[in-house]
Amino acid sequence: GVRRVRVGTRIARGLAWAMSVSPPWKRPGGGGRAVARRLWRPPQWSLVQICSHLAVFYAIAAFAFVIQPAWLAIGNCRSSVVIGTFWLIFVLSLGLYGFVCFADTRYREGTEDTASVLWDSEPRICDDCSASITHKRAKHCQVCNKCIEGFDHHCRYLNVCVGSRTYTPWYCFVVFLFALMAFCSYSAVHALTTPESYHLASVSLVAFYGVAGLQVCVSSLLSLFLFSLSAQHVFFIRQGITTLEYIKDQAAGFPGVPPPSWREHVSRGECYSCSEAMEVVEVHDPNQVWFCNVCQVDLSRAGVEFYTCPSCENVSVCPVCRSVARDRRRAIVTYRTSALRRVADAQVYKDVLGSSCTSRLSSVSGTIRAPRLSRRTFSAAVAAVEGHTGENVRRNSFCTLGASDPRDVEEVADDEYESGSSTGEA
């Protein structure tokens, strides 16, 4: 009888694991609603990713099977050199594509230059992957389920994160792909003007014009987008900022690390920069730009009351970090916005009312600075089409292959909120 019970328990656990749903004895509260287990799954391709790959494949295949034979039939050296250069760029692009897709961009301590480490600042802990972060621009991507070193953006079309290790290869890939698409567009236009030189036109003129015309449309649109994207990143490189910093309208080095000597000031309700009394603010518009300068969480999307300095530019502290400031034994944790709401709701009022420290917190007044909104420029639109800020949790990516220690249990409702609040970038 005991053996049958044990066998039945093992079978139930195996079925629960296979169905990716935690069993009732493992659910929070002893049997609440089902909680999804974040197990590894093969990369899932989105519709945008599939369409973009098919468009590039069609443009290159149309050149290879329709236009290239006619150029080779001419037999001059110029055509051979041009075709050889085209395929050389194609091979280089393919190699860069593979490197960007499968490179390990996970944040690892001690891999960046020592000049970028702020030794007088304490680290912050990622609540998702438990990484201890002491470098700037390290961000947790909820699609890849890991912290990315030097996060720039999550590319929609490659479905990978572009970080400090892969930014240069990714940009070279964009430039090479632009060259390929521009050449395909030129060759298709040239073919439409001289159809008598191509074998497909002698077989079926309608089919030839259909294939060449579609190639012109596809390759021209891709060339225009890739040119805009490459030009945009030239501007980012000259300014020394990332796509995330541009979209979120933040200074270089975002997400940062906790500022030095912040605990003493924040625990008293003072600004750590100017020692002025901080004010309580609550924002209901997720498009406004408010970030906690300690844990780097997006306060606008979190929808919680926080503390900000009415005089200093972009100096804000979330209620959880203010509670951490009064207890030096507690580490700084970067939560998801949904998790921050739960933690803040449980402790914010108790921390403010029950604190034994002298607080200079005041209610919100008319002296607070005007809020900034997320960028709505053409560059921001191009960035939003190309990638996003890593806040979408609905889809796995190639990055999942290198993810370590994923969170075993996560609430489905939080996934739905996070995926619905994702903003564009890169």
Please give the pLDDT value at position 354: 52
Please give the pLDDT value at position 217: 96
Please give the pLDDT value at position 38: 41
Please give the pLDDT value at position 413: 39
Strands of 387-388's sheet in order across: 160-162, 153-155, 387-388, 424-425
Query: pTM, whole model, 2 decimals?
Result: 0.75
- Tallying the residues shown for the chain, one arrives at 426
Please give the pLDDT value at position 408: 36
Which has the closest alpha carbon to 243: 231, 232, 256, 227? 232
Please give the pLDDT value at position 350: 61
Please give the pLDDT value at position 63: 95
Backbone dihedral angles phi then psi of residue 204, each to the nearest 5 degrees: -150, 110
Please give the pLDDT value at position 192: 93
Report yes or no: 113 and 101 within 8 Å, Cβ to Cβ.
no
Report yes or no: 332 and 124 within 8 Å, Cβ to Cβ.
yes
Please give the pLDDT value at position 43: 52
Render 3-24 in DSSP notation, one character per residue.
Answer: HHHHHHHHHHHHHHHHTTB--G
Please give the pLDDT value at position 28: 37
Please give the pLDDT value at position 10: 52
Run means of pLDDT, 10 residues per run, the chain, 426 residues: 50 44 37 37 72 95 94 87 95 96 83 45 83 86 87 90 93 97 95 91 93 96 95 93 87 82 86 86 78 86 85 83 86 86 73 48 43 60 68 48 40 38 35
Please give the pLDDT value at position 377: 67
